[in-house]
Amino acid sequence: MVEFRKSRLKSAFALVALACLATPFARADTTLPSGPFTVLEHTQLVGGSFSSALDFLVPAAGKVTVVLSDLVWPDTLSSLHFAATSATSLFGSLDAPGTFSFDVNKPGHYFAIISGETKGALDLGLYTLKMEWSALSGSSDPAVPLPAAGWLLVSGVAGLMGLARRRREAGLV
């Protein structure tokens, strides 16, 4: 009985090790949706002069649509500005609440810079920023790798099936 347990344990470790080693090379048939889906949504209560820098991740080449709004609560902002940049270039900007779109050529981290001012130093204002990404028409969607947890689950189920078969063959069930 002790030998049988040792062999089961060795088999289980071998399956887990194999699953862990295979994970970096595995690809699933799952692809990113063509969009649109939100890559950044940000709302902030501000007072006086303010500025914020946020990063956002674009999953693949595509189009990013920006919507910047002054929520006019508790007061209207006297100025509100937005700029979208990469580490090396400016994609576009807004000098007032509004909407604009820009294309990105490759996946990666990009930056959103928001600045503005309330009417008075003690006044407050509320703005919201929403950015959505969608794939460019005709672009191929990249494959998304299957996470390691999926491979571990599959190997665990296979191990349990093997144990059940052995128990049936040994007449223990």
pLDDT, tens only, 119-166 = 988 889 999 999 999 887 654 545 556 677 777 788 888 888 888 888
Q: What pTM, to 2 d.p., does this model score?
A: 0.59
Model confidence over 57-115: pLDDT tens digits?
A: 888 888 999 999 999 888 899 999 999 999 889 999 999 999 999 999 888 889 999 99
CA distances from 65 to 34, 37, 58, 92, 104 (A): 14, 10, 12, 11, 11
> Domains plus CATH for the chain?
2-29+145-170 (no CATH), 37-135 (2.60.120.380)
User: Bridge-partner residues for 130, per DSSP?
Assistant: 41, 67
Tokens 């009417």 locate to 119
Give the closest residue to 52 by CA, choosing from 120, 108, 104, 128.
128
Could you tell me what percentage of the chain is helix, strand and coil, using 3-state DSSP and rounding each to the nearest 5? Answer: 25, 45, 30
Cα(79)–Cα(127) distance, rounded to whole angstroms? 11
Take residue 150 and report the two structure tokens written for it: 């999926």
